[in-house]
Amino acid sequence: MKNNIKVERARLNLTQEDLANKVAVSRQTINAMEANKYVPSTVLAMKIAKVFKKTVEEIFILEKGD
């Protein structure tokens, strides 16, 4: 699963730490998601989308085989 977290963070001028604090996870979790090494839970995906004022589908993109 790909995502637009890094792009959206840049748009809002947020660091990984800032976003992590807003959604109650570690900075390492945000880093792993941006590197496509971690797929978030539905609840976490919804929290992230809410911070960015986007839908989950606008942030997380399913690829073939996902």
The domain limits of the chain are: 2-61
How much is the pLDDT for 53? 98
Question: Would you say how long the chain is, in residues?
Answer: 66
The pTM for the full model equals 0.93
Distance CA 9, CA 16 (A): 8
pLDDT of residue 64 exceeding 90, the answer is no
Angle at 42 between CA 29 and CA 26, to 5 degrees: 15
Identify the burial level of 48 via C-beta atoms within 10 angstroms of its C-beta, where 0-12 means exposed, 13-18 middle and 19 or more buried.
Answer: buried
CB-based burial label for 5 (10 Å; 0-12, 13-18, 19+): buried
Give pLDDT, residue 45: 98
In the predicted structure, residue 4 carries a pLDDT above the cut 80: yes
Say which residue the tokens 């929290």 belong to. Answer: 47
Q: Which fold has domain 2-61?
A: 434 Repressor (Amino-terminal Domain) (1.10.260)
